[in-house]
């Protein structure tokens, strides 16, 4: 079982060995492989297996799926052997719990936040998911889920039940990640487009800058001092 208590930095949407190694060398704790065909970060199973073998033993491997059924999830787990499943679709709490049973792995459920009322939805998943990934809601005309590089109002999380473990996503980048961590005190952070030079194209320098800033901010909170 992955360590759910340590602060985790996740680089999601990696698709090449070069950028994956850059993330590992910079100290990423988790790497995300995106299986949603409409995403510019989509990887085939064959490419994902190649990337997973590079990362195995150095970082936790997260498989991002959108509205899959239990059979599909179980087959992916058998082939890829990831450490986590990340559900980024419209999965209900019941479906989330079922996917956890089917895959036999911890599950991270992504939920969009745009207003205080969304926190009630978060609470309904606390027993179904091992972690919640709080993201910005996508634009109404978006072709795929996720925050699309936009942050949400982090102040909304002041009313979130402190007993709910969550990671923060949505519009994070090297310039704002320290502030995001200071405001929200998450158990981890997740970035994709914020470390890219173009949609789906990861930038090794931005990855390193992001991880360094996040690590410094998290360490400052643990010590009880400003970053």
Check pLDDT > 50 for residue 27.
Answer: yes
3 pLDDT band, cuts 50/70/90, is very low
* pLDDT per residue as tens digits for the range 99-122: 999 999 999 999 999 999 999 999
Long-range contacts of 137-144 (CB under 8 A, 24+ apart): 137/112, 137/113, 138/112, 143/38, 144/36, 144/38, 144/39, 144/66
Check pLDDT > 90 for residue 14.
Answer: yes
Left if phi > 0, otherwise alpha if psi is -120 to 50, otherwise beta: which for 171?
A: left
Check pLDDT > 60 for residue 24.
Answer: yes
225 pLDDT band, cuts 50/70/90, is low
Residues in a beta bridge with 20 = none
- In DSSP notation, 174-217 reads TTTHHHHHHHH--SEEEESGGGEEETTEE-HHHHHHHHHHHHHH
Q: What is the pLDDT of residue 147?
A: 46
Q: Is residue 184 part of a domain?
A: yes
Q: What is the pLDDT of residue 46?
A: 98
Number of domains in the chain: 1
Cβ pair 178, 214 in contact under 8 A = yes
Q: Is residue 1 part of a domain?
A: no
Q: Is residue 54 part of a domain?
A: yes
Q: Is residue 128 part of a domain?
A: yes
Q: What is the pLDDT of residue 208?
A: 98
Check pLDDT > 50 for residue 97.
Answer: yes
What does the pLDDT average to over 128-138?
92
Q: Which of 12, 29, 173, 190 is catalytic?
A: 12
Distance CA(178)–CA(96), nearest Å, equals 31
Q: What is the pLDDT of residue 53?
A: 98
- Domain range enclosing 154: 8-223
* pLDDT per residue as tens digits for the range 59-91: 999 999 999 999 999 999 999 999 999 999 999
Q: Which of 29, 83, 135, 173 is catalytic?
A: 135
Distance CA(202)–CA(187), nearest Å, equals 24
Cβ pair 26, 208 in contact under 8 A = yes
Q: What is the pLDDT of residue 143?
A: 53
Q: What is the CATH number of the domain that holds 213?
A: 3.20.20.70
Q: What is the pLDDT of residue 1?
A: 34
Distance CA(21)–CA(32), nearest Å, equals 13
**Does an H or E element contain 63, and which?**
strand 60-65
Q: Is residue 23 part of a domain?
A: yes
Q: Is residue 2 part of a domain?
A: no
What pTM value is reported for the model?
0.91
Whether 130 is a known active-site residue: answer: no
* pLDDT per residue as tens digits for the range 138-194: 756 555 554 446 789 999 999 999 889 899 999 999 999 999 999 999 999 999 999
Cβ pair 82, 73 in contact under 8 A = no
6 pLDDT band, cuts 50/70/90, is confident
Residue 2 phi, psi dihedral angles, 5° rounding: -60, 155
Q: What is the pLDDT of residue 226?
A: 56
Q: Is residue 3 part of a domain?
A: no
4 pLDDT band, cuts 50/70/90, is very low
143 or 48, which is more confident: 48
Range 5-36 burial, b when 16+ CB lie within 10 A, else e: eebbbbbbbbbeeebbbbbbebbbbbbbbbbb
Q: Is residue 110 part of a domain?
A: yes
Whether 135 is a known active-site residue: answer: yes
């Amino acid at each position: 079982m992955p360590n759910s208590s340590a602060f985790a930095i996740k680089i999601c949407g990696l698709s090449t060995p070069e950028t994956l190694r850059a993330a590992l060398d910079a100290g990423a704790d988790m790497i995300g492989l995106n299986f949603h065909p409409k995403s510019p970060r989509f990887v085939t199973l064959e490419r994902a297996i190649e990337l997973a073998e590079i990362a195995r033993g150095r970082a936790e491997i997260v498989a991002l799926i959108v509205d899959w059924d239990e059979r599909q999830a179980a087959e992916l787990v058998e082939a890829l052997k990831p450490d986590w499943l990340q559900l980024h679709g419209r999965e209900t709490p019941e479906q989330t719990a079922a996917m956890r049973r089917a895959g036999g792995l911890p599950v991270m459920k992504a939920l969009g936040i745009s207003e205080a009322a969304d926190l009630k939805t978060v609470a309904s998943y606390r027993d179904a998911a091992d972690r919640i990934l709080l993201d910005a809601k996508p634009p109404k005309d978006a072709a795929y889920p996720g925050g699309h590089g936009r942050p949400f109002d982090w102040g909304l999380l002041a009313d979130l039940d402190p007993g709910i473990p969550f990671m923060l996503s949505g519009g994070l980048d090297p310039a704002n990640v320290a502030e995001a961590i200071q405001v929200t005190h998450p158990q981890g952070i997740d970035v994709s487009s914020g470390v890219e030079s173009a949609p789906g194209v990861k930038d090794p320098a931005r990855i390193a800058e992001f991880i360094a800033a996040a690590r410094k901010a998290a360490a400052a909170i643990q010590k009880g001092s400003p970053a």
